[in-house]
Amino acid sequence: MKQLFFYSFIFLFFYRINAQVNLVPNYSFEIYTSCPTASSQIPLAVPWQGVTTNSTDYFNACSSVYGVPSGSGWQYARTGNAYAGLWAINSYGGNYREYLQVKLDSVLQIDSCYLIEFYCNSVNWTRYCINKMGAYLSVTAVSNVGPGSVLQYIPQIISHTFLNDTLNWMRVSGYYKANGGEQYITIGNFNTDATTDTAHVGGFYDGSGYLIDDVTIIKVAACDTVNSVREYSNDLKFKLYPNPNNGSMQLNYTLDKNQEAVFLIYDILGKEQAVYNLQKNSTTLSISEIGLSKGMYFYKVIVDDKIVKSDKMIIIN
């Protein structure tokens, strides 16, 4: 119970520093009731659920079996210590699928615009990737409609390129104008085997598996695709790695001419731990904060007095 309360507090703090409220509860799968010990245990990451009778997996660094990264291959979480895993295809011919579903913290408002996004990573030991991973927003929880275990709904958010990266996290995102009343999000492959395009990524297992992390739904002023591109660009312009780290890390960044920028680190209570000025004549910042205690922190990049990127950082020394 203390552990659950601790992670709940982290979530509330992270929402606060991001200014915009993420309507997805436990969006990074960090809140859990116990460590996963077998497959099909996504319900441990409360309140997430699978949808079909098939399993959806939960991976957490606390587990010696379904750990991060050892339980799924070599992939660390995009943020924090946990993620979900599902099959987009599991061998051909059987239409086997797995999905993630959760009830939102509040319903979507009619005619309001929302930025929907999630991050995925292609499991390195699977043979295929697909190009149609999607997110479906609904008023009620969805259920299996077949054939097989395929949910044949039309997702409002869908990828349009092959999601083939086994090293980096890939962003799937889009804007959605709500009909009103939507309060569930479901993630997965909504196409049958026959209508799913695949590409070879080099693994040995005859399927397409994905890890899922950082699911976000935030209300925005307008359904602006230009802003979507700009937000994605910020992910590319400011990259902190490794994360997790032992206090030694590097920020790669790109600044326009005459921009002023700072990089800040906070603890979970909001206390400032470090401030770095980003030099205009450089593109890297080497950071050594080996005095930081093990645990979760937050960082922000501020350019010309505006927050352009904020995220979690894990110290593992």
Q: Which CATH superfamily is domain 227-315 in?
A: Immunoglobulins (2.60.40.10)
Mean pLDDT over each residue of the chain, to the nearest integer: 85
Q: Which two tokens stand for residue 267?
A: 């603890």
Report the percentage of the chain scoring pLDDT > 90.
48
Report domain extents, the chain.
Answer: 2-223, 227-315
Q: Return d(Cα 61, Cα 67) in angstroms, integer.
A: 5
pLDDT given at position 8: 45
pLDDT band at 103 (very low <50, low <70, confident <90, very high): very high
> Range with the lowest mean pLDDT among 31-35, 69-73, 202-206?
69-73
In angstroms, the Cα distances linking 129 to 93, 168, 245, 280 are 16, 14, 29, 39
Provide CATH code, domain 2-223.
2.60.120.260
Q: Which two tokens stand for residue 86?
A: 């599902």
CA 254 and chain centroid, separation? 23
Sequence letter at residue 139:
V
What are φ and ψ of residue 16, in 5° steps? Answer: -65, -40
Q: Are strands 261-266 and 248-253 parallel, antiparallel or unpaired?
A: unpaired
> What is the tens place of the pLDDT at every residue in 212-268?
999 999 988 887 654 444 444 455 578 888 888 889 999 989 888 788 899 999 887
pLDDT band at 13 (very low <50, low <70, confident <90, very high): very low
> What is the tens place of the pLDDT at every residue in 110-139?
999 999 999 999 998 999 999 989 999 999
3-state secondary structure string across 145-178: CCCCCCCCCCCCEECCCCCCCCCCCEEEEEEEEC
In angstroms, the Cα distances linking 93 to 86, 128, 164 are 18, 15, 22
Residue 225's H or E segment, with its range, is helix 225-237
> What is the tens place of the pLDDT at every residue in 44-63?
999 999 997 668 999 999 99
pLDDT given at position 228: 44
CA atoms within 13 A on the CB side of 281: 0
Q: Return d(Cα 24, Cα 26) in angstroms, integer.
A: 6
